[in-house]
Structure 1
Amino acid sequence: MLTLPRAGANSLDPHGLTHAMTGWRRLLRPGGHLLAALTAQGPEPGTVGHRSTVIAAARAAGLLYHQHIPLLLVPLPERDPRTDPNPAAEPDRRLRHGRHLPAFRDLLAFAGTTSTTEEATRG
């Protein structure tokens, strides 16, 4: 289990993250993928998001952005709450102290750029 390096409480350090991603890229087998689960919430207005910073650092480290997968943290409702004929009958469990509860985290998949042939000639 690896942890993304942090510069401060609310921001990722792009240089430290690129350095870490470079080391992790070297550990990948040919055709392997690096998965990064982001625990940070979306960006504050006027700032660059954590997801964008992680993707940019991975690209700078020689990884290819492959896929974004949302990891659900709560079960999906049995029916769409917007179609409930009596919405006041059930309390809204998605709010805590008036704020929405996190429903998902971002999982980013990156692929190595080294092919099997390149790896064999290096090793």
Structure 2
Amino acid sequence: MRALIIAAGLALTAGAAHADPCEAPVSGYRAGQVIAGPVIYAGDGDSLCVALGRDRAQWVEIREARWFAPELHEPGGREAKRVMDRLVGRRAVCIVERGQNGRTSSYDRVIAACSVDGRPIAEHMRRDGIAEGGRGR
């Protein structure tokens, strides 16, 4: 319960501060490395910010590796972000992967396959009727 209260406080701080509060460097992550912590911010339907600590320099922005949401300006994009917004405050476990670019980062985000509450992001999206889209598909 205490962790949930802290995560909610971090999320409120993140939302009030500015649109993208994640400030951790994205370089240096290795494929297979685990990133785990509360989700404090949803950038869109396939990016999220995971807090590894209280300091913004420990907030890692992640590009979900196994789900390609529609862009915000495309049909379904806002709905995908709303699903991701509902994951804020919950615990994410993400495994770093190499993307199509061969690297573990893309557009200043770490590429990782994430589960929230033990369920893959793609499952959360499909359960709520979100169709895949975006630049990755």
Name the TM-score, length of structure 2 as normaliser: 0.26
Greater per-residue strand proportion: 2
- Which of these two proteins has the greater Rg computed from alpha carbons? 1
Higher relative contact order (CA 8 A, sep 6+): 1
Name the TM-score, length of structure 1 as normaliser: 0.29
Greater per-residue helix proportion: 1
